[in-house]
Structure 1
């Protein structure tokens, strides 16, 4: 596209005002956009001098007005530098966008149906489309937007690209009118009280909100409601919307608890509590929410099972402490949720350690206090013991002792000042020492045996407790604290896992079966010998938890060992009862890793579809 002399002079003037001056700053007749077609979206001056840079600048200014191939002509009748719009332009765009893969769902965003409202303005060549994610709190939404825009802009025939990030409405299957617009229900649970379950529920909810989600907290512990103490609402007056209760709010997060509508805890038998919860479920109008956090009561009884079945809970977060007794409770909690087909997606280990500064409490260096008079008396006695008498060195012994004490004081003050100066020059935070009051915890065991990868340790911290008692969520009062980062990591993990549960509910578990004719355990069409799988058990009886040392002698496992029963344990592990009386838990990722390590070698073969259909006697998974 030829540039008018006026346009080039204007551009040269603009470049000159920015300090671009060279000897060849003269006007170059006939400079055209085609000269710069090699860098379609570049706006930097080239080495050809200000005249070429001017042509480039004007081409960028005028670029949005290019016409489509059918009618694109420049002022002098020459053809446009842009190639024609292809007839199958939608296919071109979707083809490049298919290279963007959701890291959690392991499929591209085109196949997942995330691309919506794809449009092209043929006059300006502007492209616009929506990327409809599973949740507005998607941790990778910003990167998705950057990648999508860059890929479409790199198509030679496109103009401006407008990408709008949205979230698909996703409502749970429930017969409760008040929950009809809730996208996912996350249960925060523990099998024993006093482990920090409510603290986790509150801080998880506000961390999800910080990711961009709309969130509510439902405290369903009618025997001992905690939410009224832990979160002070903006307005504590209960309002009604028609015949339903409107949740209270704090900083945009919706809140409801038995304690907000009735002072104190409920004193009633189990059946009455179940009826009360039924009323709560039908009377509270939550409106449109991405996530509803359930602060569950402790235990595995009627209330927990009723809520799991009535609410169609999407996923569960288990809260525990490092003690061995608490680990047993975690196992019971996983088993309970597994019985109602609710996957446990994360475990939070509260009170995992107590953190102190290695130089002293509260980040201050320990400064020994001197008893001056006592030190002076000891100095004087020591001097006399060594034979020093009054008059030596021209001083009395007590005066000499006092002078020595002054030297000690000055040296101590100098050392303290140097240490303080070193701290001021050091940008790093003070070295922290972690004291595990209740033991090392069970994170590795949960990962090895149950396949729960998202395990988080939260320290015993007075500020977390103080915020809970004052009604101010910790992550709101201390957003930059390391513990707040831990809660945000937990929230991101929950978002990712919930997305997997919703999209992969029918394919997240591999197909596992025992073929007695071979005999072999068949995993997605690949065979592994039962003895090989039995020897790979990593339970506490087979592998030492702290050191990873093998306790099981592989030679003691007979080649004739067989699985008597195989069934999924949650979404991430397989439970196997063996013929030798042992019971094993294998995370699916451990089984897949075992198959990969073995390859096509001894102990593993490939089974055809027909063979699987004719010989499978027991099928596990979906």
Structure 2
């Protein structure tokens, strides 16, 4: 005979809640929902309708578990579903979906005693909300009445190999370009401190100093072992505090006296022949400007995103525009702007004296010892400190208005930043608790979030392949198109816009379409960055096609931004 739960329900109702009922032993749960409903009916005058239905649903789940105890597999399945349902309330703030739908929950295990364990596999070990996720997971699962304990392990997706990239880069997950269009704005300082800020959050990080003419990395970071070694035909990067390093300055201490083509060739060797191994982020300290070297890096590397470094002057803003335009041209999103030398903190002596007098007056006595005096001076100095914007107010609003860019980090002037760089110890390492270090960590969090949105929040670049059986080129644009498209090889070959097929100045066609045989076929495809694909043809020609020129529905970042802006204007009107 089933024990009646009416006394427990009455007691719970007298307290204004059903807490006592929800904490009742599983053995006392009725076998059918109707039994609970019949006993709960007289209490509707005492318990709110919302709490009443919540109790019924909870009791029904308990009844299902009790009824399924005779069938172990059914009970285990039901408990697993309840855990996953509980975890679906946790939403990734960057990707906009719950962690169950995103496939983050791995190795879920539940034992007979109610102990639950599982892994949360994030997109990156540097996820800025991983501790919050862990707390939310524990809270959500432990709210289930039958759960005795919860063990949550935070992990990250394993490194995957990209066989389309050179061997040295094949296990690098994300490449971040740190760029500026003029020298002397603190680009290398930003690249180094951003790298070590990412590393401190748990990521595997490397830095490539791509400035052959003026390498800064050997001065700013002192490696643990200052010897360049080779592993087979590849260069082993140096390391400092777990961050991998490579620079022309580590190999050759003299000046790089060479012409542009030689520099490009040398840089390609550094990029492709360095054995980076497993990296979550490779930061490239780009040389200043928008010339051959910068374009070569953008075209030959699968660069994920760019960080633009500048100063608040009006003249520097023009360089920011040039830099963003260059990356837009090759479909590399600019995800953050760093304004160095944005301000400095100045202590007004008169204000300091007034603040100290007020503090002494409020306490009624002078400090009794040195420690109290120091505390008084610090409090007074904080009250008397103002920000002096030496080079102007900056361009945060214009960046947000023109490109929708909200990740603008304003770095104050601080003498210790330059001193740390000259000493070979990054500022975020030497002064981990300082204001600058906190700002670099904020920048690192912004980079991690934006990269996650790029990689997992929208479609990747189109996949182009040759279907030999049908003699067609297939184009899978993912979310950019409803279905995979096809194009005849001869039609794509005739659409080549290279200098040998189209006159650059006038746009006059140089290729006779009739000269392209109908049986021409692609011998191979090679992605060029994020914006184009290179095709080797059977007639000996080599073409470069931007995806936007032949993939229906594919949009570059600038076009996506323009359409989004137009939609906002229509909505506002």
Deviation at 1:426, TM superposition (A): 3.4
Task: Say whether residues 1:450 and 2:403 are aligned partners.
Answer: yes
Pick from 254, 260, 268: which aligns with 2:250?
260
User: Aligned with 1:337: secondary structure?
Assistant: helix
Q: What CA distance in whole angstroms lies between the structure 2 residues aligned with 1:335 and 1:299?
A: 12
User: Aligned with 1:128: secondary structure?
Assistant: strand
Give runs of aligned pairs for residues 557-572 of structure 1, distance below 5 A: 570=557
Residues 573, 488 of structure 1: CA spacing in aligned structure 2 closer, same or farther, 3 A cutoff? farther
User: Aligned with 1:475: secondary structure?
Assistant: helix
Paired residues, number: 413
Deviation at 1:188, TM superposition (A): 0.3
Pick from 407, 415, 432: which aligns with 1:462?
415
User: Aligned with 1:574: secondary structure?
Assistant: helix
Q: What CA distance in whole angstroms lies between the structure 2 residues aligned with 1:40 and 1:139?
A: 40
Task: Say whether residues 1:136 and 2:125 are aligned partners.
Answer: yes
Q: What CA distance in whole angstroms lies between the structure 1 residues aligned with 2:90 and 2:299?
A: 37
Task: Say whether residues 1:441 and 2:394 are aligned partners.
Answer: yes
**Conserved 8 A contact 1:85-1:157:** no
**Conserved 8 A contact 2:23-2:145:** no
The superposition leaves residues 567-589 of structure 1 with CA deviations (integer Å, 9 ceiling, x where unpaired) of 977479734xxxxxxxxxx8x4x
User: Aligned with 1:195: secondary structure?
Assistant: coil
**Conserved 8 A contact 1:188-1:316:** yes
Deviation at 1:160, TM superposition (A): 2.1
Residues 351, 172 of structure 1: CA spacing in aligned structure 2 closer, same or farther, 3 A cutoff? farther
Q: What CA distance in whole angstroms lies between the structure 1 residues aligned with 2:77 and 2:227?
A: 61
Give runs of aligned pairs for residues 15-26 of structure 1, distance below 5 A: none
**Conserved 8 A contact 2:342-2:393:** yes
Give runs of aligned pairs for residues 13-162 of structure 1, distance below 5 A: 38=23, 85=75, 87-121=77-111, 123-162=112-151
The superposition leaves residues 60-105 of structure 1 with CA deviations (integer Å, 9 ceiling, x where unpaired) of xxxxxxxx968989xxxxxxxxxx9364333222222111100011
Paired residue for 1:517?
none
Q: What CA distance in whole angstroms lies between the structure 2 residues aligned with 1:301 and 1:138?
A: 34
Q: What CA distance in whole angstroms lies between the structure 2 residues aligned with 1:117 and 1:91?
A: 14
Q: What CA distance in whole angstroms lies between the structure 2 residues aligned with 1:571 and 1:99?
A: 34
> Which structure has the greater CA radius of gyration?
1
Q: What CA distance in whole angstroms lies between the structure 2 residues aligned with 1:417 and 1:126?
A: 56
Which range is displaced more, 174-183 or 416-425?
Answer: 416-425
Residues 201, 40 of structure 1: CA spacing in aligned structure 2 closer, same or farther, 3 A cutoff? farther
Q: CA RMSD in A?
A: 3.5
Residues 594, 95 of structure 1: CA spacing in aligned structure 2 closer, same or farther, 3 A cutoff? farther
User: Aligned with 1:175: secondary structure?
Assistant: coil
Deviation at 1:144, TM superposition (A): 0.7
Residues 333, 35 of structure 1: CA spacing in aligned structure 2 closer, same or farther, 3 A cutoff? closer
User: Aligned with 2:75: secondary structure?
Assistant: coil
User: Aligned with 2:173: secondary structure?
Assistant: strand
Task: Say whether residues 1:223 and 2:221 are aligned partners.
Answer: no
The superposition leaves residues 201-253 of structure 1 with CA deviations (integer Å, 9 ceiling, x where unpaired) of 00001111111111111101111100001111111111222222211111111
Residues 151, 572 of structure 1: CA spacing in aligned structure 2 closer, same or farther, 3 A cutoff? farther
TM-score (structure 2 length as normaliser): 0.66
Q: What CA distance in whole angstroms lies between the structure 2 residues aligned with 1:595 and 1:39?
A: 57
User: Aligned with 1:480: secondary structure?
Assistant: coil
Q: What CA distance in whole angstroms lies between the structure 1 residues aligned with 2:238 and 2:25?
A: 53
The superposition leaves residues 484-517 of structure 1 with CA deviations (integer Å, 9 ceiling, x where unpaired) of 1111100000000000000123399x99xxxxxx
Paired residue for 1:286?
276
**Conserved 8 A contact 1:203-1:475:** yes
Residues 157, 428 of structure 1: CA spacing in aligned structure 2 closer, same or farther, 3 A cutoff? farther
Paired residue for 1:204?
194
Q: What CA distance in whole angstroms lies between the structure 2 residues aligned with 1:572 and 1:441?
A: 26
Pick from 149, 164, 177: which aligns with 1:187?
177
Paired residue for 2:425?
472
Paired residue for 2:306?
316
TM-score (structure 1 length as normaliser): 0.61
**Conserved 8 A contact 1:225-1:265:** no
Structure 2 stretches of 5 or more lacking a match?
A: 1-18, 27-64, 355-364, 462-478, 481-553
Q: What CA distance in whole angstroms lies between the structure 2 residues aligned with 1:150 and 1:85?
A: 22
**Conserved 8 A contact 1:171-1:181:** yes
Deviation at 1:417, TM superposition (A): 8.7
**Conserved 8 A contact 2:87-2:140:** yes
**Conserved 8 A contact 1:335-1:569:** no
Give runs of aligned pairs for residues 295-444 of structure 1, distance below 5 A: 295-359=285-349, 423-424=376-377, 426=379, 429-444=382-397
Structure 1 stretches of 5 or more lacking a match?
A: 1-33, 42-67, 74-83, 367-414, 512-566, 576-585, 604-622
Pick from 202, 214, 221: which aligns with 2:204?
214
